[in-house]
Amino acid sequence: MSAKHEHIPKITIARLSIYLQVLEQMQREGVEVVSSGPLAKACRANASQIRKDLTYFGEFGVRGVGYNVCELIRAVSRSLGIDREWNCVLIGAGNLGKALIGHREFERRGFRIIGAFDCDPFKIGEEFAGLEVVCTRHLKERIQDKNVRIGVITTPPEHAQRVADYLVGAGIKGILNYAPMRIVVPADVTVEYVDIFHHLYSLAFALAPHKS
């Protein structure tokens, strides 16, 4: 079904996340059908852009009518690959790690954190949201045969590379890196960097007086 193989721009994926957010909001409000115009207005985007983004993955609309909200949510979810469960492990049980483990919304979205690891002896054995923190050394054995595809790094930057090596060694193919540190991984492993300050920086830039 999805993805004609003509290279989909990263920014299209970013926008799909926005469309999904807005569509879910519309669904909650009881909207059944929406056309690209009003959807674009709600997303503060351009209608043709939405139509083009969607046609990367298929034809989901009805000419003269628009898109069925529920169907489009399902189609976009399938296009993004979030119409299934993804098992994850998290390494680094600090403040951020604990907050993520406790954030049940991830589970609701199909991202199940099934293991928490840390190398700090004071944290090993602690329990958060029903998950015991295990020594990072045991990562590989603990996730064997569990179909874990995603690793989340929430360690300090100086441990990020070592942790990434552990994850790669354990067969992980996708890494979500919250550590403020670029990491090196083999070409078949995807890394997404989360910079929790980026949006604050953008705001500061927008608000700062540059009129020197």
Choice from 17, 21, 25, 46 touching DNA (CB under 7 A): 46
Shortest reach from residue 83's CB to a copy of itself, in Å? 9
Q: Residue 57 in 3-state DSSP? A: coil
Shortest reach from residue 49's CB to DNA, in Å? 4
Contact 14, 25 (CB under 8 A): no
The interface mask with DNA, positions 122-161, x = CB under 7 A, is: ----------------------------------------
Choice from 3, 62, 200, 203 touching DNA (CB under 7 A): 62
CA 101 to CA 193: how far, in whole Å?
A: 18
Q: Residue 176 in 3-state DSSP? A: strand
Shortest reach from residue 19's CB to a copy of itself, in Å? 11
Binding site for a copy of itself (CB under 8 A): 1-3, 5, 10, 13-14, 16-18, 20-22, 24-25, 28, 42-44, 79-82, 84, 86, 95-96, 99, 102-103, 105-106, 109, 111, 149-150, 157, 173-176, 180-182, 190, 192-208, 210, 212
Contact 153, 126 (CB under 8 A): no
Residues 2-21 interacting with DNA (rule: CB under 7 A): 7, 9-12
CA 167 to CA 179: how far, in whole Å?
A: 14
Bridge partners of 44?
A: none
Shortest reach from residue 3's CB to a copy of itself, in Å? 4
* Sign for the pseudo-dihedral over CA of 7, 11, 13, 15: negative
CA 153 to CA 192: how far, in whole Å?
A: 10
